[in-house]
Amino acid sequence: MGLVVQKYGGSSVADAEGIKRVAKRIVDAKKAGHQVVVVVSAMGDTTDELIDLAEQVSPMPAGREFDMLLTAGERISMALLAMAIKNLGHEAQSFTGSQAGVITDSVHNKARIIDVTPGRIRTALDGGNIAIVAGFQGVSADSKDITTLGRGGSDTTAVALAAALDAEVCEIYTDVDGVFTADPRVVKKARKIDWISSEDMLELAASGSKVLLHRCVEYARRYNIPIHVRSSFSGLPGTWVSNEKPNGDEQVEHAIISGVAHDVSEAKITVVGVPDKPGEAAAIFRAIADAEINIDMIVQNVSAAATALTDISFTLPKTEGPKAIEALEKTKAAIGFDSLRYDDQIGKISLVGAGMKTNPGVTADFFKALSDAGVNIELISTSEIRISVVTRQDDVNEAVRAVHTAFGLDSDSDEAVVYGGTGR
Amino acid sequence: MGLVVQKYGGSSVADAEGIKRVAKRIVDAKKAGHQVVVVVSAMGDTTDELIDLAEQVSPMPAGREFDMLLTAGERISMALLAMAIKNLGHEAQSFTGSQAGVITDSVHNKARIIDVTPGRIRTALDGGNIAIVAGFQGVSADSKDITTLGRGGSDTTAVALAAALDAEVCEIYTDVDGVFTADPRVVKKARKIDWISSEDMLELAASGSKVLLHRCVEYARRYNIPIHVRSSFSGLPGTWVSNEKPNGDEQVEHAIISGVAHDVSEAKITVVGVPDKPGEAAAIFRAIADAEINIDMIVQNVSAAATALTDISFTLPKTEGPKAIEALEKTKAAIGFDSLRYDDQIGKISLVGAGMKTNPGVTADFFKALSDAGVNIELISTSEIRISVVTRQDDVNEAVRAVHTAFGLDSDSDEAVVYGGTGR
């Protein structure tokens, strides 16, 4: 029996009852003979409440102080969790990100982990303790200031600690039963995936699947840490995410298609009437990059020969839309385009699976399924193991269901898949 | 213009509005040319809410985790206060007790400060920042664990930082206008004291005055730090507490009597029928000390010659009553007393003033005032600059008013003294 890292999200520890339930689960792992390190998020809505307070005292809270404020949230949940475990007769100690040795860069509110030096965690484990660590937070190498890793950062804390401590597995407890072949709220027949490769999981996360963040999966892939995503409510086995198929488990089948993801959080900008000559596209995307906006898909139309003008479209998070429009308007004269069109009524559907590399029919089947469902395709983008299309937002749910059925992903059972937990 | 340390209690920063009001006051001190270090408590009822959560998960929360939990409170208030100051256009940085160099022993929940190494505070000040420090908390020298100083510990943090930084003054902002000659809720004609010696303030604090804690005054006396207790609401000058009269201020008069304090938080235990021979009293108080109970007054009656038995009475905090009774019952056979009597309906009235050393009539006047008011005295205890008596609790308010009038402490004005603030 080796070391396991368990991570519990805010909905799992939303109140005293939740904390006590989680404490029992942790103690069970300890009783089973594991060394246990637990990463915990802030309770329920604590972080939102703290953000609200910050906005009341300052319209633009300073990054350093904002991080100091938010980290109070995990401090509360981790101390309570340690108390609840001790109340069950087991030894536990809680540690802040700084005490746990989570060293980051100095970018407040979205710091990156640059090192993990878990000496105090090792000492606590060697002393027979369960170690409880605050997720989402660290300390900057340069200034020794408290930093936070951005929303969802607790998953990254868990994987980083698992890597530094050479854990057997990083268990991510959440309020759903695992990773599904599609969002079960949209596709009633979505199936829970028993195992998915890190590579496919990365593409799903990049394509709108919310269960695991891209950064967390990327970290686990690099350090070869198996992740087990599962429900803190049901206790059922969830989804394993790892670089290789689990050892000796030949029943785990590497599906051609892992799943269908969708994303309605993006918008589309079209730059109309761009002179079709070298350097124009570069100028446009330089302006976007200088505004620190990440874009997703890019399509350039074939130039209309008569005018020698072309249109360039790209997608980006809706939240970045106004900033992008502003940045482009400023360069309008220099670039010499006609106008900008902004469209936030789009949706993206992505099909992900390493199997499509060796199955050339996948793309054709994908487009046929969409066509049969009467869904119009506006943009297309592909990688080796993913095809994404942009459609009208209103068509997204129907498109996801059609594709899910066409690729044989529907569960055999007619019963709805349980989407677990509190529904949060 | 030198360095000032300002401390704001929880009622001064109870909500976003309070934090913004305090931020303005701090910025005023900075604008006046001071270097400013601010010690802040947790917002309003935060600490009580955290204690309530702890009790929900564990009937006996572990000290280490309890301290980790409670220190989240100041983390929130200090970050918000720094944000609010920055929003007014001034630079501010917040620091935890650990970051501020508040080093303590390892006694969780009531740690003692053993050193202060405020290197980061100095750096912040030298960089033009206002430094905001979490009150009430530190880090243990041995284990590097987070500790708390116990209730009211933020005042001690402020004085300790003032000493370590060689501050001109430690300003304690609270919800009353200063130290009064008696509790204004009991004595309408109580006067605010402009200056009081540390020595007299120590006796008042030990006798039930709640404005400053004994530990904080003791620390300030030892390091010769002047304290200015004042209201965060009115902005009026408050009470100066220092070892020497303020320089060049000859109008500040050293009163014979500083004030009248009262305390209804104690109980009296009488050990009845103790054999009147050497070692019996020692055995009783050894049992009490071993149970880690602090006692206040002790009186041994004259032995009745016929029986060679005596009674021993002492007072102690009501909260310690059950523990003391238990400790004594266990030693009953060994000591050989008859019975125990427990009385929690007592009150203590104390008259404090260095002037009584050289004014022999004070004691007689004190007893006469009580007698004229029809108040019966049950126990008496004296120090060089204090006389205390125990009476029935029901008589306390009347006794305090009578003594206050008899010693000429009543304010000239017929108007009620304003007791300031929120009335908390």
Can you state the angle between helices A280-290 and A321-330, rounded to 10 degrees? 130
Query: Least CA distance to A84: which residue of chain B?
Result: B57
8 A C-beta contact, residue B136 and residue B97? yes
- Cα separations in angstroms, A388 against A21, A151, A181, A348, A405: 40, 25, 15, 7, 17
Q: Which has the closest alpha carbon to B178: B231, B235, B253? A: B231
> Is B86 in contact with A62 (Cβ distance < 8 A)?
yes
Q: Is B393 exposed, middle or buried (0-12, 13-18, 19+ CB in 10 A)?
A: middle
For residue A174, pLDDT over 80 is answered with: yes
Query: Least CA distance to B20: which residue of chain A?
Result: A57
How far apart are the C-alpha atoms of A99 and B102, rounded to whole Å?
17
In CATH terms, the fold of domain B3-249 is Carbamate kinase (3.40.1160)
SS3 state of residue A229: strand
Dihedral, CA atoms, A244, A245, A247, A251, nearest 10 degrees? -170
Q: How far is A174 from chain B (nearest CA, A)?
A: 21
Over the stretch B327-353, which tens digit does the pLDDT of each residue have?
A: 999 989 888 899 999 999 999 999 999
Over the stretch A60-94, which tens digit does the pLDDT of each residue have?
A: 889 999 999 999 999 999 999 999 999 999 999 99
Looking at per-residue pLDDT, the higher value among B135 and A356 belongs to: B135
- What tokens appear for A277 in the block? 């000559």
Over the stretch A297-331, which tens digit does the pLDDT of each residue have?
A: 888 776 666 677 888 899 999 999 999 999 999 98
Which helix or strand (DSSP H or E) is residue A171 part of? strand A169-174
Over the stretch A193-204, which tens digit does the pLDDT of each residue have?
A: 999 999 999 999
> Is B69 in contact with A75 (Cβ distance < 8 A)?
yes
For residue A336, pLDDT over 90 is answered with: no
DSSP symbols for A371-396? HHTTPPP-EEEEETTEEEEEEEGGGH
Interior CA angle at B311 toward B306 and B313, to 5°?
165
- Rg, Å, chain A Cα set: 23
Average pLDDT, integer, range A368-379: 92
Give the type of residue at A98: S
Average pLDDT, integer, range B308-335: 91
Q: What length does chain B have?
A: 424
> Is A57 in contact with B83 (Cβ distance < 8 A)?
yes
Over the stretch A208-255, which tens digit does the pLDDT of each residue have?
A: 998 999 999 999 999 999 999 999 888 799 999 999 887 655 555 556
Cβ-Cβ contacts under 8 Å, A71 against chain B = 75
Taking the CA of residue B155 as centre, how many other CA atoms within 13 Å lie in the half-sphere pointing to its CB? 22
What is the value of pTM for the model shown?
0.84
How far apart are the C-alpha atoms of A232 and A229, rounded to whole Å?
10
Over the stretch B179-237, which tens digit does the pLDDT of each residue have?
A: 999 999 999 999 999 999 999 999 999 999 989 999 999 999 999 999 999 998 887 99
For residue A421, pLDDT over 50 is answered with: no
Q: How far is B10 from chain A (nearest CA, A)?
A: 16
Which residue among A16, A54, A71 sits closest to B75, beta carbon to beta carbon? A71
**What is the per-residue pLDDT for B281?**
82
DSSP symbols for A320-333? GHHHHHHHHHHTHH
Q: Is A126 exposed, middle or buried (0-12, 13-18, 19+ CB in 10 A)?
A: exposed
Cβ-Cβ contacts under 8 Å, A144 against chain B = 99, 120
Mean pLDDT of chain A: 90
Over the stretch B230-266, which tens digit does the pLDDT of each residue have?
A: 998 887 999 999 998 876 555 555 568 999 999 999 9
8 A C-beta contact, residue A321 and residue A291? no
For residue B291, pLDDT over 50 is answered with: yes
Over the stretch B398-423, which tens digit does the pLDDT of each residue have?
A: 999 999 999 999 987 443 333 333 32
Q: Which has the closest alpha carbon to A42: B17, B40, B76? A: B76
How far apart are the C-alpha atoms of B198 and B227, rounded to whole Å?
9
8 A C-beta contact, residue B316 and residue B296? yes
> Is A57 in contact with B65 (Cβ distance < 8 A)?
no
> Is B66 in contact with A83 (Cβ distance < 8 A)?
yes
Q: Report residue A114's pLDDT band, with 50, 70 and 90 as the boundaries.
A: very high
Average pLDDT, integer, range A370-393: 92
8 A C-beta contact, residue B424 and residue B11? yes
Q: How far is A27 from chain B (nearest CA, A)?
A: 15
Which residue among A53, A61, A87 sits closest to B58, beta carbon to beta carbon? A87
Which residue among A60, A68, A79 sits closest to B94, beta carbon to beta carbon? A68
Q: Boundaries of CATH 3.30.2130.10 in chain B? A: 250-424
Neighbouring CB atoms inside 10 A of A119's CB total 10
Q: Is B33 exposed, middle or buried (0-12, 13-18, 19+ CB in 10 A)?
A: exposed
> Is A72 in contact with B75 (Cβ distance < 8 A)?
yes
Locus of tokens 């905001």: B132
Q: Boundaries of CATH 3.40.1160.10 in chain B? A: 3-249
In this structure, whether the domain defined by B250-424 belongs to CATH 3.30.910.20 is answered with: no
8 A C-beta contact, residue B219 and residue B158? no
Over the stretch B2-16, which tens digit does the pLDDT of each residue have?
A: 999 999 999 999 999
Chains A & B: contacts with CB separation below 8 Å: 112
Which residue among B23, B69, B92 sits closest to A79, beta carbon to beta carbon? B69
Q: Is B250 exposed, middle or buried (0-12, 13-18, 19+ CB in 10 A)?
A: exposed
> Is A58 in contact with B87 (Cβ distance < 8 A)?
yes
Over the stretch B106-148, which tens digit does the pLDDT of each residue have?
A: 999 989 999 999 999 999 999 999 999 999 999 999 999 999 9
Q: Which CATH architecture has domain A3-175?
A: 3-Layer(aba) Sandwich (3.40)
> Is A75 in contact with B75 (Cβ distance < 8 A)?
yes
How distant is the alpha carbon of residue A202 from its chain centre? 9
Picking from B24, B75, B78, B87 by the largest number of A CB atoms within 10 A of its own CB, the best residue to mutate is: B75
> Is B87 in contact with A50 (Cβ distance < 8 A)?
no
Q: Report residue A384's pLDDT band, with 50, 70 and 90 as the boundaries.
A: confident
Q: How far is A53 from chain B (nearest CA, A)?
A: 7
Cβ-Cβ contacts under 8 Å, A80 against chain B = 53-54, 57, 65, 69
> Is A69 in contact with B76 (Cβ distance < 8 A)?
yes
Q: Is A256 exposed, middle or buried (0-12, 13-18, 19+ CB in 10 A)?
A: middle
8 A C-beta contact, residue B132 and residue B10? no
> Is B66 in contact with A76 (Cβ distance < 8 A)?
no
Neighbouring CB atoms inside 10 A of A247's CB total 7
How far apart are the C-alpha atoms of A298 and A313, rounded to whole Å?
6
Query: Least CA distance to B143: which residue of chain A?
Result: A120
Q: What length does chain A have?
A: 424
**What is the per-residue pLDDT for A300?**
78
Which helix or strand (DSSP H or E) is residue A223 part of? helix A214-223
Picking from A68, A74, A85, A98 by the largest number of B CB atoms within 10 A of its own CB, the best residue to mutate is: A68
Picking from B20, B50, B51, B57 by the largest number of A CB atoms within 10 A of its own CB, the best residue to mutate is: B57
ipTM: 0.80
**What is the per-residue pLDDT for B369?**
94
Looking at per-residue pLDDT, the higher value among A279 and B413 belongs to: A279
Per-residue HEC secondary structure of chain B comes to CCEEEEEECCCCCCCHHHHHHHHHHHHHHHHCCCEEEEEECCCCCHHHHHHHHHHHHCCCCCHHHHHHHHCHHHHHHHHHHHHHHHHCCCCEEEECCCCCCEEECCCCCCCCEEEECCHHHHHHHHCCCEEEEECCEEEECCCCCEEECCCCHHHHHHHHHHHHCCCCEEEEEECCCCCECCCCCCCCCCCECCEEEHHHHHHHHHCCCCCCCHHHHHHHHHHCCCEEEEECCCCCCCEEEECCCCCCCCCCCCCCCCEEEEECCEEEEEEEEEECCCCHHHHHHHHHHHCCCCCCCEEECCCECCCCEEEEEEEEEHHHHHHHHHHHHHCHHHHCCCEEEEECCEEEEEEECHHHHHCCCHHHHHHHHHHHCCCCCCEEEEECCEEEEEEEHHHHHHHHHHHHHHCCCCCCCCCCCCCCCCCC
